[in-house]
Structure 1
C-alpha cells in the first residue's frame, strides 16, 4: 500500500505500510509536489531495505546516532558527522576517509587527522558492522613519525608555578602530579576533589573512562590555595578549555625564564619521572590513564635513555656506583 500524504498545519506528512513495515514521517515542507517526491523516496528506501538488506540504506547519520545512543565517546564526532551527513555507509571506502580527513583538517598533521577524523569515522562504521548492518571498514591511517617528547621536570613545574597565578600554577602541578591531560584537568570540578582524602576524580575524555588520582601533599597545598567558593559544579582551575590555558601559559614561562614547553609536557613529565624512579610500567600506565602499556612504552621509550644502564647485565650496582661517583666528585 503506497504512502499517503496528509497535512498538519502547513506541513505535509506521510504514513502507510511498505514492504511489511509501517512508515510515518514528516516531509518538512509545505510544497505538495516536493512532499510527494520525499514520500516516494522513503517508499523506495523501504523496498531497497527489504530486497537488499538493512545495510543498503544505512546512512552515516543513522550510524552516528546509533553510536551515540550506545554510550560511546562523542569526542570529535561533530565535524565527522557534518562531513558525511547522509552518505550511505556502503559507499564509504578507506581512501574516501583519508581524502575527507585532509579536506576537513587541511592544515593539521597526520596524527591529528588520524585521531580527530579517521578514528571516529571508522569507529562509527565498525559499530554498525558489529550490529550486522554493514561490513567492517579497514583504513590505512596516515603515517606518523614518532618524535621524542620532552618532559617537564619538577624543577620546571615549580619555577612555572612560582611565576603563574595560583590557579594556573596549580593546574601545571596537577598535570605533572597526576598525569592528567590538559582537557581532563580543565574539566575538573570541585565536586570531584576531596582534599581531606587527597583524591580527585579524573574524567578521561580520550578513553571514555574515569580514574581516581592520588594528590601528593604539594599538590593538595597548591589546590587549597586557589581562591574559590568551591561550589561542586565550578571548575577548579577556572579555565573554560585548553585554548584559554594556552593564552596565558607562555606568559608564565617567559616570566620564569624557563624553557618553552607545552602543557602536555607535564603529563610526559609524570610518566618519565615515574619510570626514572623504577615504578613499573603497568603501574605508571594505570595511574596516568594510559589505555595500554604498549602505548606508554612506545611514547616514553626515551625515559630510561641512559646507555650505561646496560652495566646491570654484568651485575653492576648502579645505585652504589652513583654514590661512589658522588663521594669522589
Structure 2
C-alpha cells in the first residue's frame, strides 16, 4: 500500500500503513505537487525504518557510515580519499537526504568542483559519489540511484613509459639519488622487475620469496590475490646479498617502514638527470606491462601478471609500439613506387628525386 493524499480545508494531508502501523499527518502544503513529495518521502522513511530501524541518511551521514564500516578493510589511500571527499568536496550535497540527490544537484556540485580542479579529477569525484550511492542501494537504504550523470569526455594525453635506451642510466641516477636508502633501490627494482605497485613493495616480505622456484608471491595486494610471480634472474641476483629468512624487504636504514609515495622523489630526480619523461611509480608499472606485451606475452598473461580483474584494465596500461606500423609504412611505400631504386651509377635514390 502507498500513501493517500486528502484535503483538510486547503491543506493536503497524507495517510499510509506500514507493517500494521497507521500514520496520518499534515503536509502543511496547499500545492498538491509539493505535498506529493512530502508524502512520498514520509512513506519511504517509514518503510525503511520498519525494515531496518533507521531513517534515510544525508550524504554526510552516509559518508561517515562508509568510513566507519570500511576502516578495517579498505586500503589506507582509498579510505583517506573518501575522507577528504567528505571534508572538502561535497559542495552542498552534505545535508541532502540521499534519495533527494537529483541529477541537477550533482551537476551543480560538479561545476563547483571544476572551478578549482581539472576535468579528469572531476570524473574521479563523480566516481566517488556513485560509489557511495551504489553502496546505499546494495544495503537497501534506497531502491535505486536517484541521479544519472555522465562522466566528462576528456582529451587524452600521451602517456609515458621509461625509454629502454635510458633504462640503465636512469637506474644509475636513481641509485645515486637514493644513496644509503637501499629500500628505495629495492622497491624500484621490484616495480620494474615484477610489476608491483608501490604499496605492494612497501609491504613486501622476505618469506614470500621462494628462492628455489624463483618466484615471489605478494601477500598484501589491492585485489586480495596471492598468486606467485616469476622472478627474473637479474632481480634474484640483486636481492640475494640482502636475503633474510623473514621480515620486510623494504625499510628505511633505521629499520622503520617508509611512508606512501617514498619512491616518487628519487624517480623524478632520475628523470631530470637523464632527460627521461615524467616516469612515476604508476608509469613504471605501465612500462613493465608494455615491455611484456612487446616481448610477445599474450595480453591474458600480462593481465595475470598485473593481477587485474579485467583485460580492459590491462589494455589501459599497454602503450602501443609503432615499430610494426613503421615497417608496414615502408612496405606500402615500396608497393606504391615511392621506395628507393638504383640510379644509373648504382647509388640508391628516392623515386621522386630529380634526375
Q: TM-score range, shorter-chain basis?
A: 0.5 to 0.7
- Partner in structure 1 of residue 295 of structure 2: 277
| Deviation of the 1:139 alpha carbon | 2.8
Map Cα deviations across residues 175-197 of structure 1 (whole Å, 9 max, x no partner). Answer: 12222233433343455545555
- Partner in structure 2 of residue 126 of structure 1: 134
| Deviation of the 1:287 alpha carbon | 0.6
Change (3 A) 1:92 1:144: same
Map Cα deviations across residues 46-86 of structure 1 (whole Å, 9 max, x no partner). Answer: 99721676796233333662586378746121122333555
My pick for the range that moved more, 153-162 or 137-146, is: 153-162
My pick for the range that moved more, 275-284 or 214-223, is: 214-223
Q: Are residues 1:77 and 2:94 paired?
A: no
The partner residue of 1:222 within 231, 234, 238 is: 238
Change (3 A) 1:105 1:309: same
The partner residue of 1:113 within 116, 122, 126 is: 122
Is the 1:63–1:125 contact (alpha carbons within 8 Å) kept by the matching residues of 2?
no
Q: Are residues 1:89 and 2:98 paired?
A: yes
- Partner in structure 1 of residue 333 of structure 2: none
Is the 2:206–2:244 contact (alpha carbons within 8 Å) kept by the matching residues of 1?
no
- Partner in structure 2 of residue 145 of structure 1: 155
Q: Distance in 2 between matches of 1:302 and 1:248?
A: 27
Q: Are residues 1:246 and 2:245 paired?
A: no
Is the 2:184–2:250 contact (alpha carbons within 8 Å) kept by the matching residues of 1?
no
TM-score by length of 2: 0.60
Is the 1:276–1:304 contact (alpha carbons within 8 Å) kept by the matching residues of 2?
no
| Deviation of the 1:126 alpha carbon | 0.9
Q: Distance in 1 between matches of 2:322 and 2:195?
A: 18
Is the 2:58–2:98 contact (alpha carbons within 8 Å) kept by the matching residues of 1?
yes
Is the 1:271–1:284 contact (alpha carbons within 8 Å) kept by the matching residues of 2?
yes
Change (3 A) 1:291 1:247: same
- Partner in structure 1 of residue 347 of structure 2: none
Change (3 A) 1:162 1:199: same
Contiguous gaps of at least 5 residues in structure 2: 1-17, 20-40, 330-355
- Largest Rg, 1 or 2: 2
My pick for the range that moved more, 228-237 or 267-276, is: 228-237
| Deviation of the 1:129 alpha carbon | 1.2
Q: Distance in 2 between matches of 1:178 and 1:105?
A: 37
- How many pairs align? 266
| Deviation of the 1:283 alpha carbon | 0.9
My pick for the range that moved more, 294-303 or 62-71, is: 62-71
Secondary structure in 1 matching 2:238 = helix
Is the 2:306–2:314 contact (alpha carbons within 8 Å) kept by the matching residues of 1?
no
Is the 1:118–1:141 contact (alpha carbons within 8 Å) kept by the matching residues of 2?
yes
Q: Are residues 1:171 and 2:165 paired?
A: no
- Partner in structure 2 of residue 40 of structure 1: none
Q: Which runs of 4+ in 1 moved over 6 A?
A: 45-48, 52-56, 228-231
| Deviation of the 1:254 alpha carbon | 4.0
Greater RCO (CA < 8 Å, at least 6 residues apart): 1
| Deviation of the 1:90 alpha carbon | 1.3
Secondary structure in 2 matching 1:140 = coil
Secondary structure in 2 matching 1:302 = coil
Q: Are residues 1:159 and 2:164 paired?
A: no
Is the 1:190–1:235 contact (alpha carbons within 8 Å) kept by the matching residues of 2?
no
Q: Distance in 2 between matches of 1:189 and 1:86?
A: 45
Change (3 A) 1:124 1:144: same
Is the 1:213–1:287 contact (alpha carbons within 8 Å) kept by the matching residues of 2?
yes
The partner residue of 1:262 within 279, 284, 306 is: 279
| Deviation of the 1:284 alpha carbon | 0.6
| Deviation of the 1:273 alpha carbon | 0.8
| Cα root mean square deviation, aligned | 4.0
Contiguous gaps of at least 5 residues in structure 1: 1-18, 21-44, 312-329
